[in-house]
Amino acid sequence: EVQLLESGGGLVQPGGSLRLSCAASGFTFDITPMAWVRQAPGKGLEWVSVISGNTYVTLYADSVNGRFTISRDNSRNTVFLQMNNLRAEDTALYYCTKYLRRDVAVFDSWGQGALVTVSS
């Protein structure tokens, strides 16, 4: 059974930093692209970032490019999202997700989410 467990969410002031982690199990982690998708309160879904299995490819939404960094540790089956210079509009529930397949960019498994609140 696939399991994705996020941690690291919390309350942070504007301009601050936070690092989310996602521990994965139940699938072949090191060949599977992993992504973060967020949902602001009362809003829809927004794809944030993705990293390939071999870490060679990382992509970001324009809204976070230059401020967020995705990474992974295949020895620990864990993916990370380093979030710097946070803004109020980054307040959201951040879901860790996996691609269905390497060549199919749909998100077939989701964690329960990590809540990030950016407020003074």
Partner 1 sequence: EIVMTQSPASLSLSPGEKATLSCRASQSVDSNLAWYQSKPGQPPRLLIYVTSTRATGVPARFSGSGSGTEFTLTISSLQSEDFAVYYCQQHYNWPWTFGQGTEVEIK
Report the interface residues with partner 1, using CB under 8 A.
37, 44-47, 50, 59, 61-62, 95, 100, 104-108, 110-113
Quick one: 3 or 17, whose CB is closer to partner 1? 3
Which residues, listed in sequence order, are joined to residue 22 by a DSSP beta bridge?
Answer: 6, 79
| Distance of closest approach, residue 13 Cβ to partner 1, in angstroms | 27
Q: Least distance (Å) from partner 1 to the CB of residue 1?
A: 12
Q: Report the distance separating Cα 21 and Cα 110, nearest Å.
A: 13
Backbone angles phi, psi at 53, to 5 degrees: -60, -40
Minimum gap (Å) between residue 106 Cβ and partner 1? 4
Nearer to partner 1, 80 or 95 (CB): 95
Residues with Cβ within 8 Å of 101's Cβ and at least 6 positions away in sequence, in order, are: none
